[in-house]
Structure 1
Amino acid sequence: MSIIKTIEELESWSAGADRKNRTLGLVPTMGYLHEGHCSLIRAAKAENDLVVVSVFVNPTQFAPGEDFESYPRNIERDYELAIAAGADVVFNPEVGEIYVPGSSTFVEVTGDITKKLCGASRPTHFKGVTTVVNILFNIVRPDRAYFGQKDAQQALIIKKMVRDLHMPLEVTVCPIVREADGLAMSSRNVYLSAEERKQAVCLNCGLQKAWEYLNSGSDDSRSVRKLIEVIENHIKGQDLAVIDYVRILDGETLEEINGIEPGKAALAAVAVRFGKTRLIDNRVLSVEVR
């Protein structure tokens, strides 16, 4: 199976694959695949008869001055990795195939869930994400769609969109896949210099220290303010790291919380710049039962 470039080709493949009688999983990506993406593809293959991987660098989720033009691309390598991981089809449309000429329709989730964390510094980002994901859902019509926990806010927003619009599919969020030293895998990691790459592990290490402090038994161990301080102090120990945000919010709604209660999960999320490269990471924090 070659790379599919058009909706017409995808529909023809779907008809030939007896799509009506088989389940289909979709893994939406912007390409430059790594093991994190491949883990999503394997999860989709384990739960569905067919798997479509979309590779589309979506222009509407990039603001002016961001890295749309320079975003890493290698469709031949992506195709090989996707097929090896279990994909049946790689859908790699051109921009004009996704956004019809004169298109001015957007799908937007409103409210605090899109305004915090990455939404604060990238106010148009999630509007672009939800629009393109909605378009892909309409084109591919999957039974299930797979996203990574690394983009935790994005996953929560997409799940809300699916619930709010009664979309007939399941959204599955899979665990973060990390490098051996703990850095969350990301297509943007290739931008890092050797020294930036070395220091970038501070994101995961800071989150790990927050987990340890939360479960240390200290008097203020459940205080969100204190846990944020623990993370920030660790990241600030790296001279190339510039913090965009360190936040701890409700794990489902992203609402503000002051403390972490037993039986409830919180999301600790960080965004840090190294030169021109902005990295994100997160960890679900919960109080261990002793």
Structure 2
Amino acid sequence: MLICTTKKELREAIAAQRAGGKSVGFVPTMGALHQGHASLFKRARAENEIFVASVFVNPIQFNNPDDLKNYPRDFEADRRLLDAEGCDIVFHPSVEEMYPEGEKVEKYSFGSLETVMEGAQRPGHFAGVGVVVGLLFRLVEPTRAYFGEKDFQQVAVIKELVRQMGIPTQIVPCPIKRGEDGLALSSRNALLTPGNRAKAPFIYETLKASLALASRPCKEVKDFVESRIASCPLMKLEYFEIADPDSLQSVPDDKPAAGNQGFIVVWMGSVRLIDNIHYGAL
């Protein structure tokens, strides 16, 4: 496995390996890798001739300085996991390498996709995601890029990014990977206290329980989820929203939840946890 820390090294490494038009599978990450990431790596490895990953904590997608400071980092552990999953090339640049002083970056606007839910709660977040993923796509030129559906809204933004960039990269959404207790795997889970970690699966239990109400108006589903989360003193609900899975626009309260996606954000102490679930068609 080759570790590249500069754009020049990365371009040269990929050019050397992709001779003859070999397919490139790419998984961009912010490190603190876990088995959720590993599920993406396995697909990238199985479905492509070359598997490239990046490990870069992107400062411009954080709107909270404390969140950036507290984000877990352990590149040595990340390197071991990537090596075990058969990665060919890892790109691990510094902030200065990605964003040289005085160098302009391509910026993108994602319209309503970046103003609802996560976009509303974290202003500038998706603009920052667009900048870094756009840069990485220009460098790697992947055949396929893999993203987890835990960050469902991000997947929609990345699909729009590819459309705007006019590149042939195929975006491959991958199902949420969960622990045995149902908690969506996340780098942030490592920051939970033992007591909060033990209770955290209640988020997904609540989402699953709400599936029984899929035929009911969204207002009833929201009331159910909000009251369940409120019953847990360790949890503070930031939002629960039911939205169209394509446009991400909120579904009117009087319409049934069926066919739409439920999105939840819960705080446990200083840790922000996200999850989502699909309300199947009637």
Q: What do residues 222-270 of structure 1 show as CA deviations (whole Å, max 9, x unaligned)?
A: 31111111211221121010111000000110112232476xx311000
Q: 1:166 Cα deviation (Å)?
A: 1.9
Q: What do residues 15-71 of structure 1 show as CA deviations (whole Å, max 9, x unaligned)?
A: 321344200011000001000001001111111100101000000001243321221
Question: Does structure 1 residue 154 correspond to structure 2 residue 148?
Answer: no
Question: Aligned partners of 1:227, 1:35: CA distance in 2, in Å?
Answer: 31
More displaced stretch, 242-251 vs 5-14: 5-14
1:242 to 233, 236, 247: 236
Question: Aligned partners of 1:103, 1:200: CA distance in 2, in Å?
Answer: 42
Tell me, yes or no, if the aligned pair for 2:262 and 2:277 is still in contact at 8 Å.
yes
- State the TM-score, normalizing by the size of structure 1: 0.92
- The one-letter code of the counterpart of 1:62 is F
Residues 22-101 of structure 1 correspond to what in structure 2 (within 5 A)?
Answer: 22-101=22-101
Question: Aligned partners of 2:173, 2:66: CA distance in 1, in Å?
Answer: 26
- The one-letter code of the counterpart of 1:280 is I
1:144 is matched with 144
- The one-letter code of the counterpart of 1:247 is E
Question: Aligned partners of 1:247, 1:107: CA distance in 2, in Å?
Answer: 28
Tell me, yes or no, if the aligned pair for 1:108 and 1:126 is still in contact at 8 Å.
no
Tell me, yes or no, if the aligned pair for 1:267 and 1:283 is still in contact at 8 Å.
yes
Question: Aligned partners of 2:9, 2:29: CA distance in 1, in Å?
Answer: 19
Tell me, yes or no, if the aligned pair for 1:25 and 1:52 is still in contact at 8 Å.
yes
- The one-letter code of the counterpart of 1:42 is K
Question: Aligned partners of 2:153, 2:201: CA distance in 1, in Å?
Answer: 21
Tell me, yes or no, if the aligned pair for 1:149 and 1:173 is still in contact at 8 Å.
yes
Query: How many residues align structurally?
Result: 280
Question: Aligned partners of 1:190, 1:72: CA distance in 2, in Å?
Answer: 8
C-alpha RMSD of matched pairs (Å): 1.5
Q: 1:84 Cα deviation (Å)?
A: 1.2
Q: What do residues 147-175 of structure 1 show as CA deviations (whole Å, max 9, x unaligned)?
A: 00000001111111212332221000000
Tell me, yes or no, if the aligned pair for 1:106 and 1:127 is still in contact at 8 Å.
no
1:224 is matched with 218
> Judging changes above 3 Å, is the alpha-carbon distance between structure 1 residues 231 and 134 closer, same or farther for their aligned structure 2 residues?
same
Residues 70-219 of structure 1 correspond to what in structure 2 (within 5 A)?
Answer: 70-214=70-214
- The one-letter code of the counterpart of 1:230 is F
Question: Aligned partners of 2:145, 2:97: CA distance in 1, in Å?
Answer: 21
Question: Aligned partners of 1:106, 1:11: CA distance in 2, in Å?
Answer: 18
Question: Aligned partners of 1:19, 1:201: CA distance in 2, in Å?
Answer: 46
> Judging changes above 3 Å, is the alpha-carbon distance between structure 1 residues 19 and 34 closer, same or farther for their aligned structure 2 residues?
farther
Question: Aligned partners of 2:216, 2:230: CA distance in 1, in Å?
Answer: 22
- State the TM-score, normalizing by the size of structure 2: 0.94
SS class of match (1:90): strand
- The one-letter code of the counterpart of 2:96 is G
SS class of match (2:67): coil
Q: 1:109 Cα deviation (Å)?
A: 2.7
Question: Aligned partners of 2:240, 2:173: CA distance in 1, in Å?
Answer: 22
Percent of aligned pairs sharing the same letter: 39
